[in-house]
Amino acid sequence: MPYLSRIRINPLRAESRTLLAGPRALHAAVQGGIPGLPAEERTLWRLDADNPHRPHLFVLTTDKPDWTHLVEQAGWPDADGEHYAVRDYTPLLQQLATGRNFAFRLTANPVQNTSRPDKPTPRQQQRIEAGERRSFRLGHRTAAAQLNWFLTRTDRWGFDIPTAPHLDDTHDTDGEPPRDVRITTRQRRAFGKGSLSTKEAQVVMNAVTFEGRLRITDPALLTERLLNGIGPSKAYGCGLLTLAPLPERA
């Protein structure tokens, strides 16, 4: 039974600085709140800093988590109000039906796999010459490519993006009406993994936040994506798709 949690983070505390600065540290902190064995369940999380003074951490877990340690280290332990909220996710899953519209938000790492990169790095060249069959994972770096990555995959995830009603009179570069989705943040993050100083131990990812409206085409597929995440870098805050009621347009 999945659970969605929301934890408020106090950005003024020393521990929070570590957590907000590094996806690795936040991943470890999130895993620390889950009693099960790490390999046995898929944990998805996302940091929402709409208000940078009040960041919120959303976590989707299979088992019921406990976030006391995060509140003690990076929250307001003695303050009023709700330190964290944990709610059963099934009411949402039951609401999914073909044709329904929701507001969504997704932070993902758009990548493509190719065995023949345009400009291979020396290391990639070395591997190609060595005859390794495995292709290379390359990140999409421009906003256009990242948006295209998202829009071409939505069918596989069980939903599609309707055209934006408030942009009726406009069209994009292909002459088509624009879809109701936008990129709100794009962040390239690079950090070391483990104590090794080799290039292998360096993680480079592009965290892109998509926001907009979706229409469900296949509830089963969407449920699968909601629970298991979208795209790579799921340990580092990517892949959690959340749904919300549609805002009324003024």
Q: Which residues sit at the interface with other proteins, rule CB under 8 A?
A: 4, 6, 12, 48, 50-51, 53-54, 56, 58, 85, 87-89, 91-92, 95, 102-103, 105, 211, 242-245, 247-248, 250
Least gap, CB of 34 to other proteins (angstroms) = 19
3-state DSSP helix/strand/coil % of the chain, to nearest 5 = 30, 30, 40
Distances, alpha carbon 169 to alpha carbons 179, 246, 248, in Å: 12, 22, 20
Least gap, CB of 105 to other proteins (angstroms) = 5
Least gap, CB of 39 to other proteins (angstroms) = 26
Judged by beta carbon, residue 111 or residue 222, the one nearer other proteins is 222
In contact, 55 and 9? CB cutoff 8 Å: yes
Q: Which of 17, 87, 29 is nearest to 237 (CA)?
A: 29
Least gap, CB of 81 to other proteins (angstroms) = 10
71 C-beta neighbours (distance < 10 Å), count: 19
Judged by beta carbon, residue 220 or residue 250, the one nearer other proteins is 250
Six token digits for residue 96? 């999914």
Judged by beta carbon, residue 110 or residue 212, the one nearer other proteins is 212
Judged by beta carbon, residue 51 or residue 198, the one nearer other proteins is 51
Six token digits for residue 13? 């505390």
Orientation angle between helical segments 14-21 and 23-31, nearest 10 degrees:
110
Judged by beta carbon, residue 108 or residue 111, the one nearer other proteins is 108
Least gap, CB of 177 to other proteins (angstroms) = 23
Residue 135, CB half-sphere, CA atoms under 13 Å: how many? 11
Residue 239, CB half-sphere, CA atoms under 13 Å: how many? 20
Least gap, CB of 243 to other proteins (angstroms) = 6
Judged by beta carbon, residue 85 or residue 167, the one nearer other proteins is 85
